[in-house]
Structure 1
Amino acid sequence: MKTIKKRWAALLLLPALALGGCSAIPSYSSDYGNARQQVVGVTLDQQKADEIGQRFTQAFNRLGSEQFLIDAKALYAEQLFINDTLSQYAQRADLVEHFRGLNARLSNVDVRLLNTSYYNDSAYVHWRMAYDLRMFGTTRTMASYGVSEMKINADGKIIFQQDFWDPADGLYRSLPYFGGIYSWVLPFKKQP
């Protein structure tokens, strides 16, 4: 019975997907490439890269609280390039407003710094994030691994951030209602 309901839901979703497929959604790859060349940060060493990773994970461990919004204003510069794989921002005010929306849906956030490295002015921060997400009247615990490429200005504020993580595993497959359809349309294949 559950399988039949999932198939009906998928069939009802197909017209919406077909219509959505008719409109072009721009790729962010060229934006990333352009910003990566144009935004120049301070030259880093391992110690500075470690500091960036620690400040980033400490701030994001407060995600879901008012303190996080204060920390985010101190972490990011007014003008910036940030792409978190789901959205892209050029102004800190817009980014903080986005974070305000996340604050309303996330709790029990646990961000762990796994390691950092650097190349010239880019820090590469490898992290693991787990959180509880409230959506569609339910709460789900989710977790994801990712890497954020970051550049900072002379004041130590982030002016460039590109997140690399898998939203399919870290979000979409776990969403109430939508996750089942997503998994049915794009199943994960694992070979033993």
Structure 2
Amino acid sequence: MDTRQVTQNLATFFETLSPQSVSQLHTLYDALATFKDPFNEVQGLPEIERIFRHMYGALDQPHFVITGQLVDGAQAFLTWEFRFRFKRFDTTTLQTVRGASHVAFNEQGLVTLHRDYWDAAEELYEKLPLVGGLMRWLKKQANS
């Protein structure tokens, strides 16, 4: 397995991800892969697909921009920007969440572990109308 090439294939897949291509995750992920982010922890390809399908239902124009890749053995770390617009409020402002994904591959080059790291408070909650004010106040209190 060429981990650099497998990682590049994964990066390209996510940069071109669409509602139609979610069903192609099986070409990159093991059937029993694990996925974890600040809101989900699931195992198995159907559950991972469900998360990405939900993304398209909940947000307008969601897409990933891969900003960096670090490969070591059978694992990689991808840094990214996730860009989208909210569907229910502030529908005009392009939002950006910055984060990173740790992925591990099996001998066949399929993802067995995908864990996303990003700050939900700063990158999401602070942008929400009611919750945002509270989160900014809490952050200010913690820093004073």
TM-score interval, normalised by the smaller of the two chains: 0.7 to 0.9
Q: 1:117 to 1:174 in 2, by over 3 A?
A: same
**Helix, strand or coil for the counterpart of 2:109?**
coil
Let me know the Cα RMSD of the aligned residues: 2.6
TM-fit CA distance, 1:81: 1.8
Shift of 1:100: 1.7
Deviations 1:91-146 (A, max 9, x none): 111121122211102233342222211222221112222211224x5535321222
Task: Confirm or deny: 8 A CA contact 2:105 2:112 kept in the other structure.
Answer: yes
Mean Cα displacement is larger for which, 180-189 or 85-94? 180-189
1:56 aligns with 2:10: yes
Residues 104-183 of structure 1 correspond to what in structure 2 (within 5 A)? Answer: 104-135=57-88, 137-139=89-91, 140-183=93-136
Structure 2 CA distance, aligned partners of 1:128 and 1:188? 28
Q: Aligned equivalents of 1:118 and 1:79: distance in 2?
A: 22
Corresponding residue for residue 9 of structure 1? none
Amino acid at match of 1:180: G
Counterpart of 1:164 in structure 2: which amino acid?
Y
Gaps of 5+ in 1: 1-41
Return closer, same or farther for 1:71/1:179 CA change in 2, 3 Å cut-off. farther
Q: Give the aligned residue type for 1:115.
A: G
* TM-score (norm: length of structure 2): 0.79
Kindly indicate which of the two structures has a greater share of residues assigned to helix.
1
Bigger strand fraction: 2
Residue pair 1:61, 1:109 contacting (<8 A) in 2 also = no
Measure how far apart 1:50 and its partner are: 5.4
Alpha-carbon distance between aligned partners in 2 of 1:104 and 1:167, rounded to the nearest angstrom: 19
CA separation of 1:168 and 1:162: change in aligned 2, threshold 3 A: same
Aligned-partner SS, 1:186: helix
Cα contact 1:148–1:163 (8 A) shared by 2? yes
Contact 2:74-2:106 within 8 A present in 1 as well: no
Distance in structure 1 (CA, Å) of the matches to 2:15 and 2:72: 26
- Contact 2:6-2:109 at 8 Å conserved across structures: no
Q: Which deviates more from structure 2 when the two are superposed, residues 174-183 or residues 160-169?
A: 174-183
Matched positions, count: 142
Normalised by the size of structure 1, how large is the TM-score? 0.62
